[in-house]
């Protein structure tokens, strides 16, 4: 499972992470709610991490997130 960025129309410009959080710079079309985009990104990434051989399948994101928007 992965987020089909072309299908939903988002552009990922940069990503980065440290031990306890991640940053992502994206453009989201106005027709797409930020909350829906975050839900797709968190869901697809958690699924991918949990499918990794070295992972115990228990990874999950915290419930909240922060957003800066222009």
2/12: higher pLDDT = 12
Please indicate, yes or no, if residue 18 is contained in any of the structural domains: yes
Number of domains in the chain: 1
pLDDT tens-place string over residues 36-53: 888 888 888 889 889 998
Please indicate, yes or no, if residue 10 is contained in any of the structural domains: yes
Please indicate, yes or no, if residue 56 is contained in any of the structural domains: no
> What percentage of the chain has pLDDT greater than the value 90?
10
Please indicate, yes or no, if residue 70 is contained in any of the structural domains: no
Please indicate, yes or no, if residue 17 is contained in any of the structural domains: yes
Query: Could you give the C-alpha distances from 62 to 13, 21, 30, 42, 67, in angstroms and in order?
Result: 23, 10, 25, 9, 15
Listed in order, strand segments (DSSP E) in the chain are 11-18, 21-27
Q: Flag whether pLDDT at 70 surpasses 70.
A: yes
32/8: higher pLDDT = 32
User: Domain of 30?
Assistant: 5-51
């Amino acid at each position: 499972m992965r987020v089909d960025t072309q299908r939903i129309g988002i552009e990922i410009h940069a990503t980065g992470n440290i031990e306890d959080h991640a940053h992502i710079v994206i453009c989201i079309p106005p027709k797409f709610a930020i909350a829906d985009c975050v839900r797709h990104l968190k869901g697809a990434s958690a699924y991918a991490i949990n499918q990794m051989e070295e992972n115990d399948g228990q990874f999950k994101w915290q419930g909240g997130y922060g957003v800066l928007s222009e």
